[in-house]
Structure 1
Amino acid sequence: MKLIAHFSRLFVGIIFIFSGLIKLNDPVGTQIKLEEYFDVFATDFPFMAGFWEFWIPYALLISIFLCALELVLGVCLLVQYKLKTASWILLATVIFFGFLTFYSAYYNKVTDCGCFGETIKLKPWTSFIKDMVLLFFILIILWQRKVFADKKTGVLVAASVVFSIALGVYAVKYLPPYDGLPYAVGQDIAKNMKPSAPLQFKYIYEKGGETLELDQMPTDTTYHFKEMVTLNQDEAKAKITDYNIWKDGDSTDYKAESFVGKKLMIVIPVIKKANTAHLDAIRTLAKSLEGSEVKVWLLSASNEEEVNNFRHEYQLAIPSYSSDTKVLKTIARANPTIWLLDNGIVKGKWAHSSTPDKNEILESLK
Structure 2
Amino acid sequence: MKIFKHIARILLGVTFIFSGFVKGIDPWGSAYKFTDYFNAMGMEWAVWLAFPLGVFLSFAEFAIGLALFFNVFIRLFSWLAFLFMAFFLPLTLWIAIKNPVTDCGCFGDALVISNWETFYKNVVLMIFAAIVVVYRKNMDWKWFKKPGLVFGIISTVAYFGIVFHSYNHEPIFDFRPYKVGVNIPEAMKIPEDAQREVYENTFYYKNKKTGKVKKFTEENYPWQDTVNWVYENMESKIVQEGFVPPIHDFSIQTPEGEDVVDFFLHDDNYVFMLIAYNLEKSSRKPQEKINNLANWAVEKGFSFIGLTSSLSHESEVFVAETGAPYEFFNCDEITLKTIIRSNPGLMVIKSGTIVGKWHHNDIPTPEEFKEEFVVE
After TM superposition, the score normalised by the length of structure 2 is 0.82
1:259 maps onto 2:265 in alignment: yes
Contact 1:337–1:349 (Cα < 8 Å) also in 2: yes
Post-superposition offset of 1:101:
1.8
1:94 maps onto 2:76 in alignment: no
Alignment partner, residue 329 of structure 1: 337
Mapped partners of 1:321, 1:186: distance in 2: 23
Contact 1:104–1:111 (Cα < 8 Å) also in 2: no
1:288 maps onto 2:283 in alignment: no
Identity of paired residues, percent? 28
1:4 maps onto 2:4 in alignment: yes
Alignment partner, residue 177 of structure 1: 172
1:125 maps onto 2:116 in alignment: yes
Post-superposition offset of 1:160:
2.4
Alignment partner, residue 339 of structure 1: 347
1:203–1:66 Cα change, 3 Å: closer
Post-superposition offset of 1:250:
5.7
Contact 1:196–1:239 (Cα < 8 Å) also in 2: no
Q: One-letter code of the match for 1:198? A: D
- Larger mean CA deviation between 332-341 and 172-181 belongs to 172-181
Runs (5+) with no aligned partner, structure 2: 200-217, 221-236
Q: One-letter code of the match for 2:14? A: I
Q: One-letter code of the match for 1:245? A: I
Mapped partners of 2:191, 2:165: distance in 1: 32
Which of 178, 181, 196 lines up with 1:186 in the alignment?
181
Alignment partner, residue 154 of structure 2: 159
Alignment partner, residue 35 of structure 2: 35
1:355–1:201 Cα change, 3 Å: closer
Q: Deviations over 1:104-138 (max 9, x none)?
A: 21112111001111121110010011111111101
Post-superposition offset of 1:231:
11
- Larger mean CA deviation between 336-345 and 277-286 belongs to 277-286
Mapped partners of 2:198, 2:133: distance in 1: 51
Alignment partner, residue 306 of structure 1: 314
Mapped partners of 1:8, 1:329: distance in 2: 37
Contact 1:340–1:346 (Cα < 8 Å) also in 2: yes
Q: Deviations over 1:163-190 (max 9, x none)?
A: 2222112112111112122211111111
Alignment partner, residue 245 of structure 1: 252
Alignment partner, residue 319 of structure 1: 327
Q: One-letter code of the match for 2:51? A: L
Q: One-letter code of the match for 2:327? A: P
Post-superposition offset of 1:308:
1.6
Alignment partner, residue 21 of structure 1: 21
Contact 2:283–2:344 (Cα < 8 Å) also in 1: yes
Q: One-letter code of the match for 1:148? A: M
Partner SS state of residue 93, structure 1: helix
Matched ranges for 1:59-78 at <5 A: 59-78=50-69
Which of 105, 118, 137 lines up with 2:96 in the alignment?
105
Mapped partners of 2:67, 2:255: distance in 1: 54
Q: One-letter code of the match for 2:276? A: I
Runs of 4+ that moved beyond 4 A: 200-204, 229-234
Q: Deviations over 1:7-37 (max 9, x none)?
A: 1111101111111222222222211111111
After TM superposition, the score normalised by the length of structure 1 is 0.84
Which of 103, 124, 142 lines up with 2:133 in the alignment?
142
- Larger mean CA deviation between 335-344 and 256-265 belongs to 256-265
1:364 maps onto 2:373 in alignment: yes
Q: Deviations over 1:174-226 (max 9, x none)?
A: 1111212221111111111111562357999xxxxxxxxxxxxxxxxxxx989
Q: One-letter code of the match for 2:160? A: I
Partner SS state of residue 65, structure 1: helix
Alignment partner, residue 215 of structure 1: none
Mapped partners of 1:314, 1:203: distance in 2: 50
1:69–1:364 Cα change, 3 Å: farther
1:196–1:91 Cα change, 3 Å: farther
Runs (5+) with no aligned partner, structure 1: 44-48, 205-223
